Amino acid sequence: MRHLVTGGAGFIGSHLVDRLLEANQEVICLDNYFTGRKSNISNHIDNPLFELIRHDVTDPIQLEIDQIWHLACPASPIHYQLNPIKTSKTSFLGTYNMLGLARRLRAKILLASTSEVYGNPEVHPQPESYKGAVNPIGIRSCYNEGKRIAESLCFDYQRMHGVSIRLARIFNTYGPRMIPDDGRVISNFITQALRGDQITIYGDGSQIRSFCYVDDMVEGLIKLMNCNYNGPINIGNTEEFTILELANIIKNKINPNIRFVKKSLPQDDPHQRRPLINLAIEKLNWKPKIDLNTGLDKTIHYFKSTKKQ
């Protein structure tokens, strides 16, 4: 089996590449290194099962592969808002090109979609049947509307051309290989606390999130690719925390003397988000195993070790 992982040099993509290679599968990793790093996959360079291609998914590409894991897209708000037009192009053209490839090769394709398709949800927790409350013209729209058109394209390729699709609605995921200060809450808080800087709380910190450790996420994606279900599936952790609670947990693990500083809440920042994962439990026999406490320890260990280098 030969796999194409787009965005394979990124945070989740590189962990997926590790897992596929561990299972002795052939892997082509494709990335434009916008937010991905060669160092995330450099340990595989000499592996004959591994190939690395610098390519932008907004341009078509011809390859011979059996399965496509389509993860290429910046995920952190500061990254996807840097060039929002490019983010929309990546979501639409990138997914269109990968679906065209899947159609030609009769390859199965998994789209890394997102809980952002639910927008600022009025329903809590969110089931897959919830249609979402999305602002189509805000600063997050390039990403959440981008992923919505990507999902829509997947279903049209399935209906029109019989392409075999898998659709993962990924909820907040964290772990080693996140970029320090990439704007995401866990990487921001850990790097701030390790430096002795104030922890930046946006708004009053009452917003709710749930955090999935990356190993659990990759396990869920692999189970999804291998199952027969082709509707959207939420993959995420169901333990919920306010941002203030998260800040206190990280502060107490790293430096109890650290202070908090309040900053304004970004536009359209969802007030609450937590997945209902009944479908993942039923269809994939998957649920997360790693709790926040354990996952944070592993992530803090990673950030400490990269700081020393």
Contacts to ligand UDP by CB under 6 A:
77, 172, 183-185, 188, 200-202, 207, 209, 243, 265-266, 269
How far apart, in whole angstroms, are the C-alpha atoms of residue 200 and residue 268?
A: 18
Strands (E), 146-218: 165-170, 173-174, 199-202, 208-210, 212-213
- Residue 112 binding ligand NAD, by CB under 6 A: yes
Exposure of 186 by Cβ count < 10 A (0-12 exposed, 13-18 middle, 19+ buried)? buried
Answer with the entry of ligand UDP, ligand NAD, none that 188 interacts with (C-beta below 5 to 8 A by kind): ligand UDP
Smallest distance, Å, CB 259 to ligand NAD? Answer: 27
- Residue 126 binding ligand NAD, by CB under 6 A: no
Comparing CB distances to ligand NAD, the nearer of 69 and 157 is 69
* Member of 3, 4, 5, 12 binding ligand NAD (CB under 6 A): 12
By three-state DSSP, how is residue 4 classified? strand
Smallest distance, Å, CB 13 to ligand NAD? Answer: 5
Tokens of 152: 């829509």
Place of tokens 């290679």: 21
Comparing CB distances to ligand UDP, the nearer of 227 and 265 is 265
Identify whether the C-beta of residue 139 lies closer than 8 Å to the C-beta of residue 288: no
Exposure of 216 by Cβ count < 10 A (0-12 exposed, 13-18 middle, 19+ buried)? buried
- Residue 107 binding ligand NAD, by CB under 6 A: no
How far apart, in whole angstroms, are the C-alpha atoms of residue 90 and residue 82?
A: 13
Site for ligand NAD in 21-60 (CB under 6 A): 31-36, 56-58
Say which of 143, 157, 174, 213 is annotated catalytic: 143
174 is catalytic: no
β-partners of residue 74 are: none
> Which residues 6+ apart lie within 8 Å of 106 measured at CB?
164
Smallest distance, Å, CB 258 to ligand UDP? Answer: 13
Smallest distance, Å, CB 33 to ligand NAD? Answer: 5
* Member of 52, 71, 102, 134 binding ligand NAD (CB under 6 A): 71
Comparing CB distances to ligand UDP, the nearer of 164 and 238 is 238
Question: What mask of x and - would describe binding to ligand NAD in positions 128 to 167, judged by CB under 6 A?
Answer: ----------------------------------------
**Count of residues of this chain found to bind ligand NAD when the rule CB under 6 A is applied:** 28
Smallest distance, Å, CB 164 to ligand NAD? Answer: 19
> Which residues 6+ apart lie within 8 Å of 180 measured at CB?
187, 190, 191, 303, 306
- Rounded to a whole number, what is the largest CA-CA distance in the chain? 59
Identify whether the C-beta of residue 105 lies closer than 8 Å to the C-beta of residue 64: yes
Q: Which residues sit at the interface with ligand NAD, rule CB under 6 A?
A: 6-7, 9-13, 31-36, 56-58, 71-75, 90, 94, 112, 114, 170, 172-173
As annotated, the active-site residues are: 143
